[in-house]
Amino acid sequence: MRRRILAALLALTGCASMPPPVPADRVHALLVGNTAHLPDGFQEHYAPDGTLYGRVGTDHYAGKWEQRGDAFCTSLSNDPPVCTRIFDDKGTLTWAPDSGKPVKLTVTPGRAAGL
């Protein structure tokens, strides 16, 4: 009985399924100067000066990024920042916003064409 309760609690808190977040220095090295590819066709390039260049389909947008500890935070226009943690499970990257559903993340070097 104890094992079932513990397993249920771990599943509810997400501890059983997520590795520790990627540390701040690795997040910076992974994202800054590179392009993140997210579901639904979103692409975002994080320039070293703190500017975010993004697109989905033919629509372009811009914003800012900053790092807060292990969290990578982005903001568009005058919206409040959305902070995200990145998890690496044996080479599979997951983008997990503080509020929202975690999604798979692919990163390519440099600035993708058209951004």
| pLDDT of res. 2 | 34
| pLDDT of res. 13 | 42
| pLDDT of res. 3 | 35
In a domain, 60, yes or no: yes
User: Which two tokens mark 53?
Assistant: 């260049």
Q: By residue range, what is the domain housing residue 84?
A: 19-108
Q: How many domains does the chain have?
A: 1
* Identity of the amino acid at 34: N
| pLDDT of res. 100 | 87
In a domain, 6, yes or no: no
In a domain, 9, yes or no: no
Q: 77 with 90: CB under 8 angstroms?
A: no
The Cα–Cα gap between 105 and 3 comes to 33
pTM here is: 0.81
The Cα–Cα gap between 22 and 87 comes to 5
| pLDDT of res. 77 | 86
In a domain, 2, yes or no: no
Would you give per-residue pLDDT tens digits along the chain (115 residues)?
A: 333 333 333 343 444 577 899 999 999 999 999 999 999 999 999 999 999 999 999 999 999 999 999 999 999 988 999 999 999 998 899 999 988 899 999 999 999 988 9
β-strands 59-68, 82-89 pairing: unpaired
The Cα–Cα gap between 26 and 23 comes to 6
The Cα–Cα gap between 36 and 77 comes to 19
Residue 52's CATH number? 2.40.128
The Cα–Cα gap between 57 and 10 comes to 38
| pLDDT of res. 9 | 32
Q: Which ranges in 1-115 belong to alpha helices (H)?
A: 2-13, 24-31
Q: 38 with 103: CB under 8 angstroms?
A: yes
